[in-house]
Amino acid sequence: MQKLFKWGATAVVAAGFCAVAGTANAADPIKIGAFLSATGPASFLGEPEKKTLEMYVHKLNKDGGVQGRKIELVVYDDGGAGDKASTFAKRLIESDKVDLIIGGSTTATTMAAVPLIERAGVPFISLAGAVVIVEPVKKWVFKTPHTDRMAAEKVFADMQKRGITKIGMISEDAGFGKSGRDQSLLVVKNYGIEIVADEVYSPKDPDVTAQLTKIKNAPGVQAVFNFGFGQGPAIVTKNFKQLGIAVPLYQSHGVASKDFIKLAGPAAEGVRLPAAGLVVPGQLAATDPQKPVVTAFKKEYEEAFKSDVSTFAGHAYDGLQIALAAILRAGSTDKAKVRDEIEKTSGYVGTGGLVSMSPTDHMGLSLSAFHMVEIKNGDWMLMKD
Amino acid sequence: MNMMTPRTGGLALLAVIITVAPIGFTNTYFYDVAVNAMFNAILCIGLNLLIGYAGQISLGHAGFLALGAYGSAIMTTAYGVPPIAAMLISATVVGLIAFVVGRPILKLKGHYLAMATLGIGIIIHIVLKTESKITGGPDGMSLDNFSMLGFTIMGDKMWYWVAGVLLILSAWLALNLIDSPVGRALRAVHGSEVGAEVVGVDTSSYKVLVFVVSAVFASLVGSLFAHKNGFITPDIGSFFGSVHLVTMVVLGGMASVFGSVIGAVILTLLPQVLAAVEQYEAMILGGIMMGTMIFMPKGLLPSILASLKRREAGR
């Protein structure tokens, strides 16, 4: 019995110490949680995101952390599944007690976690694309990537400038392409452009000549716009050349990776698309504020991982930088204060563009974040205005 | 009264575990995982009636789960149907679908049956993914809390007790069904279909019946799961989801109600436990599965019970 008391007393004392240590010690690490789709069908998003977060957190800690506090990163892999994402988000909030969450590689995983994040009140920066994440504005939810609507608007603006009024649309009949098509139909009228042919293909179609022929035969088509990612757009591009369609082909930001050029081969020549400055750092004007940021990020990423940097890695980088800047300004990891500071993010120059958020805009990117590029000699060329 | 029959002893033990377990829960994340485990357990109890007792395979049950979830989500958000009604209507519709497709496909056997059920699951998954006007497409859709008669189930703790009661209820129902003439008929079908028919069992009716029952179980769980999470994606109905469910049943023990519970709990908890060693998660999971299948082909619970019995007999 006495022994039991002794142990009990020791435990109480130890617990007391822990409690003292637990009260907002400046040396406590800043805990950042992330749930990403590092494996599964969306791993091309989640994997570079995860690597980027780990690389920069490691680097920051080696340089002494933020405000003398180390950063502790907790990453879970949701495999692209919404229900897993929501469980991991709960784990980050309840069990790991993180100060801030980055993640949701896809719109589905993000939206699956949003209800409980809103309830718990934790600042959350999503790395997924769709407009629904920030529209309507949710108190605790922010995002870094461009939306599909912006990509469509950028493309239509470019067409308008070139006097194109009638186009053919061809889109992938799945997630990204579908949402992109919906957004395109929503904004196309604002640019005085009419969609005279509207075709879809499935992501696994080995050939889309039938759809493209219909577009080719539609009267008065001056350009074709394809919304999709993966190998679909490469097939569209190849078939487009085979059919000898003489009008310009526009792609979405979904193909802004070197893999697309490799897949489509010579047929990719002359394809136009909106892309973040990250893919063309060398060609940005010397006065462009993005130039040093994207050049440095590209160099660091490619040196560390010996593979081409992707815009997705950039989204994670931007998310982390916005979060840390907000924590710095807030002077603490108080969740409400950090949230307010994220919302006040203004003039942050990231890989995605210039970010200025507001209570009504939790993404903060404008159309200028995109650059129209054209594929020339197997590489991206910034288009002259 | 023998306290060790599964019906009394097992149910009592299950009730005790459900009541006592929250003592170890330090935050609501634990409750959340426990609720998921119990939902899976309910679904597996239903699926085990089909797989374990009637000896029929289904690789499409995640599809029925998703139908229940989307049925609830669409009816409550787009048409303002009360959640309880939406849940029951979904379950009825899923039961009807299972009945209609069950008749022809349960005539198939072995691999062919597996293929046909696989097809159903995949078709449901594709429809949910592509009909984005109704289902929100691959990006999913959200729905509200489950409320009934002015009472709302909110928060993980409340869901825990609801799921706990439902789990005990489902186990009790399943145990009763197995011990009824229907259950005996099902086991006869499992033993030998021809033999069962010779002794006067209407095998195809019983097979369809149990297929419908297991689909309804899946649909009800789907509705509850949707309300609990507040957001669903078509992924819950994926082929992988169906395989996961069958794995739970086989791992825990075919033809064992409590085996299904154990299989569901283990396979729901493992990914969470292994999240820390994420790179090796699939490897460890695969290793456990292979080990179980090689050394305990009947599944965990039946094998352990058998070895306990052997030991007692040897004494």
Give B5→chain A minimum CA distance, Å: 36
User: So what's the pLDDT on residue A31?
Assistant: 93
User: So what's the pLDDT on residue A56?
Assistant: 93
pLDDT digits (tens, 9 = 90+) for B199-226: 888 888 888 999 999 999 999 999 999 9
CATH classification at residue A332: 3.40.50.2300
What are the backbone dihedrals phi and psi of residue A355, each rounded to the nearest 5 degrees, phi first?
A: -110, 120
Chosen from A36, A39, A50, A86 to mutate, greatest number of chain B CBs within 10 A:
A86
Determine, yes or no, domain membership for A63: yes
Q: Which residues contact B33 (CB under 8 A, 6 or more apart)?
A: A87, B268, B269, B272
Question: Are A223 and A76 part of one and the same domain?
Answer: no
User: So what's the pLDDT on residue A23?
Assistant: 44
User: So what's the pLDDT on residue B1?
Assistant: 43
Smallest Cβ distance to B230: which of A80, A115, A173? A115
Structural domain including A316 reads: 30-147+292-366
User: So what's the pLDDT on residue A308?
Assistant: 84
Question: Are A103 and A56 part of one and the same domain?
Answer: yes
**pLDDT at residue B189 is higher than 50:** yes
Question: Are A94 and A193 part of one and the same domain?
Answer: no
Question: Are A326 and A276 part of one and the same domain?
Answer: no
Residue with the bigger pLDDT between A73 and B134: it is A73
Closest-approach residue (CA) in chain B for A81: B235
Question: Are A262 and A158 part of one and the same domain?
Answer: yes
Confidence of residue A259 (pLDDT cuts 50, 70, 90): confident
Indicate the average pLDDT of chain A: 86
Question: Are A109 and A153 part of one and the same domain?
Answer: no
Q: Does B129 contact chain A (CB < 8 Å)?
A: yes
Residue contact B233–A108, C-beta within 8 A: yes
**pLDDT at residue B306 is higher than 50:** yes
Chosen from B224, B235, B236, B242 to mutate, greatest number of chain A CBs within 10 A:
B235
- Stated as kind and residue range, the H or E segment containing B298 is none
Q: What is the mean pLDDT of residues A222-239?
A: 89
Give A284→chain B minimum CA distance, Å: 34
Give B140→chain A minimum CA distance, Å: 6
Q: Which amino acid is at B148?
A: M
Q: Which residues pair with A249 in a beta bridge?
A: A224
**pLDDT at residue A384 is higher than 50:** yes
Among the ranges given (A52-61, A335-344, B153-162), the one the predictor scored with the smallest mean pLDDT: B153-162
Determine, yes or no, domain membership for A2: no
| Structural domains in chain A (count) | 2
**pLDDT at residue B313 is higher than 50:** yes
Distance CA(A238)–CA(A249), nearest Å, equals 11
Using the Cα atoms of residue B280, residue B286, residue B290 and residue B293 in order, give the sign of their dihedral: positive
Query: Domains (ranges, CATH) in chain B?
Result: 30-309 (1.10.3470)
Q: What is the mean pLDDT of residues A19-47?
A: 76
Question: Are A222 and A328 part of one and the same domain?
Answer: no
Question: Are A334 and A234 part of one and the same domain?
Answer: no
Determine, yes or no, domain membership for A7: no
Question: Are A131 and A207 part of one and the same domain?
Answer: no
The ipTM assigned to this model is 0.77
Determine, yes or no, domain membership for A93: yes
User: So what's the pLDDT on residue B140?
Assistant: 83
Would you say A99 and A335 are in contact if contact means Cβ atoms under 8 Å apart? yes
Determine, yes or no, domain membership for A16: no
The DSSP 8-state label assigned to residue B143 in this structure reads: -
Residue contact B28–A178, C-beta within 8 A: no
Question: Are A297 and A229 part of one and the same domain?
Answer: no
Question: How many other C-beta atoms are found inside a 10 Å radius of the C-beta of residue B202?
Answer: 13
Q: What is the mean pLDDT of residues B242-251?
A: 89
pLDDT digits (tens, 9 = 90+) for B253-277: 888 899 999 999 998 888 888 877 7
pLDDT digits (tens, 9 = 90+) for B55-64: 888 999 999 9
Determine, yes or no, domain membership for A22: no
**pLDDT at residue A385 is higher than 80:** no
Q: Does A338 contact chain B (CB < 8 Å)?
A: no
Question: How many other C-beta atoms are found inside a 10 Å radius of the C-beta of residue A248?
Answer: 18
Determine, yes or no, domain membership for A48: yes
Question: Are A327 and A221 part of one and the same domain?
Answer: no
Would you say B235 and B7 are in contact if contact means Cβ atoms under 8 Å apart? no
Question: Are A313 and A256 part of one and the same domain?
Answer: no
Q: What is the mean pLDDT of residues A40-46?
A: 82
Q: What is the mean pLDDT of residues A115-134?
A: 90
Determine, yes or no, domain membership for A74: yes
